[in-house]
């Protein structure tokens, strides 16, 4: 199955659209932002619901504390800032006030990974998935495109408990239909195959689909799984696929330590050991450059996924 490009839109705009939608349907939804309203595409929500929008300024730790407090009154707070400031800068507040306390806060993080681009290593957090999936009770979601980011925003609003929603800055191919079903914790098999399982999240789902097309031209059938939920992980989907293919490639815009690849490896080690190749940033910080330049330099392009698939197959 091929997935045509329906549009080119940034995933952060999908979040903005979803936030406005849940704001209209649920009066308990409130939004907080740390001086990045336009960057997080929260301006439409602010304009329509000014009494439910809180601009806290460049005070991210305070924002997390305020969000936790708002849940006590039954509100559903959505916090918005860059991924680096949503996790690394405020990890103590997220751990203590939100995760440990079990508060129903939705931590929404834009400008994640290398595709943040020219802002460079200080802002390109590549450790956030690992940080957040280690917190007990934290749901972690990394949607694939604009449409799925909107769907995920709707889903976390209905979910009880703390959530981390990770999305990005650049315009990216839109290929998931707007009405495609989305369920937290349930992976999507986008392409069926029998030679290798390829599991991806976020922007790299599109690159993985492109890699699968190239492999098909070579006579290799790859199964492509969109693992939009990193926690809770769909272990059943992983094991079902790998039991047929015998090998796996994981693809993520994140450090290879602590992210999707590690989560999949835990499942395989416990239940069905199989050769695994990692397409991820290899224990490195990023640097300044365009998204495409950085994805190429750090080995996250379709050609890199094709090469990883051949390595995995050779080991099976």
Q: Which residues are catalytic?
A: 60
DSSP 254: E
Closest CA to 119 of 79, 166, 85, 78: 85
Instruction: Answer for the pair 245, 196: CB distance below 8 angstroms, yes or no.
Output: yes
- Strand runs (DSSP E) across 11-138, as ranges? 29-33, 53-55, 76-82, 106-110
Contact 224, 250 (CB under 8 A): no
CA 234 to chain CA centroid, Å, is 15
Three-point CA angle 289, 295, 298, nearest 5°: 95
Helix axes 235-245, 260-271, angle to 10 degrees: 70
């Amino acid at each position: 199955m091929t997935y045509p490009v329906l549009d080119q839109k940034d995933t952060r705009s999908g979040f903005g659209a979803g936030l406005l939608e849940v704001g209209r349907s649920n009066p308990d939804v409130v939004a907080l932002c740390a001086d990045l309203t336009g960057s997080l595409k929260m301006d439409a929500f602010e304009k329509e619901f000014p009494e439910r929008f809180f601009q806290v300024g460049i005070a991210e730790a305070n924002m997390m504390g305020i969000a936790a407090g708002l849940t006590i009154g039954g509100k559903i707070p959505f916090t918005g800032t860059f991924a680096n400031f949503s996790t690394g800068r405020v990890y103590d507040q997220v751990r203590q006030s939100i995760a440990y306390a079990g508060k129903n806060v939705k931590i929404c993080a834009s400008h994640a990974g290398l595709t943040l681009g020219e802002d460079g290593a200080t802002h390109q957090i590549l450790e956030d998935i690992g940080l957040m999936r280690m917190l007990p009770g934290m749901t972690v979601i990394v949607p694939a495109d604009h449409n799925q980011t909107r769907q995920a925003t709707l889903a976390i609003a209905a979910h009880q408990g703390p959530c981390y929603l990770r999305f990005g800055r650049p315009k990216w191919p839109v290929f998931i239909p707007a009405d495609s079903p989305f369920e937290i914790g349930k992976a999507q098999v986008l392409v069926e195959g029998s030679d290798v399982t390829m599991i991806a999240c976020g922007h790299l789902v599109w690159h993985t689909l492109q890699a699968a097309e190239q492999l098909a031209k070579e006579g290799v059938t790859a199964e492509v799984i969109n693992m939009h939920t990193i926690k809770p992980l769909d272990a059943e989907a992983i094991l079902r696929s790998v039991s047929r293919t015998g090998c796996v490639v994981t693809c993520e815009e994140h450090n290879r330590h602590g992210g999707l690849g590690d989560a999949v490896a835990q499942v395989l080690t416990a239940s069905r050991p199989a050769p695994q190749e990692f397409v991820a940033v290899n224990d490195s910080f990023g640097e300044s450059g365009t998204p495409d330049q950085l994805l190429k330099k750090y080995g996250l392009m379709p050609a890199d996924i094709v090469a990883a698939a051949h390595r995995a197959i050779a080991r099976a």
